[in-house]
Amino acid sequence: MPELREIFLGEWEGLRTEELVERYPEAWARWAEEPSWDLIPGGESAAAFEARVQSALDSFFARHERGDTVVVTHGGVIQIALHRIVGRPSRGLFPFRISNSSITLISKRDGHLIIDSVNDTGHLEGAAHLAD
């Protein structure tokens, strides 16, 4: 689902922190003080990202009322889902650790979304993988 793609970072897409500091010193300073997707030149806004992901999640849960399903997506998308469940906007600040290849379980019980687990990497123990 294209709606579950990571946030579009506009002019910051693909750049390392050092490059951001050098090319966008004012925007980076504001980001460092208080992260907000809305500060990124040409990037997707926080409201647009959240609306896109929430719409996709609503559609997904409507189509899959019963049984287990698997969604493979990006850390930012998972963050938006978690923020939605706890009732907070993200605005660019991601307080949950979402490691590459981790598993986050969300269930729907009695019409409510429940966070069952976040960032489970137990299946990676003993495997060679890159640290975050």
Q: Output the domain CATH number for residue 61.
A: 3.40.50.1240
The pLDDT tens digits for 10-38 are 999 999 999 999 999 999 999 999 888 89
Structural domain of 58: 2-8+45-120
Q: Does residue 22 lie within any of the structural domains? A: no
pLDDT band at 87 (very low <50, low <70, confident <90, very high): confident
Q: Does residue 35 lie within any of the structural domains? A: no
Task: Output the 3-class SS for the chain.
Answer: CHHHCCCCCHHHCCCCHHHHHHHCHHHHHHHHHCCCHHHCCCCCCHHHHHHHHHHHHHHHHHHCCCCCCCCCCCHHHHHHHHHHHHCCCCCCCCCCCCCCCCEEEEEEECCEEEEEEEEECHHHCCCCCCCC
Domain count within the chain:
1
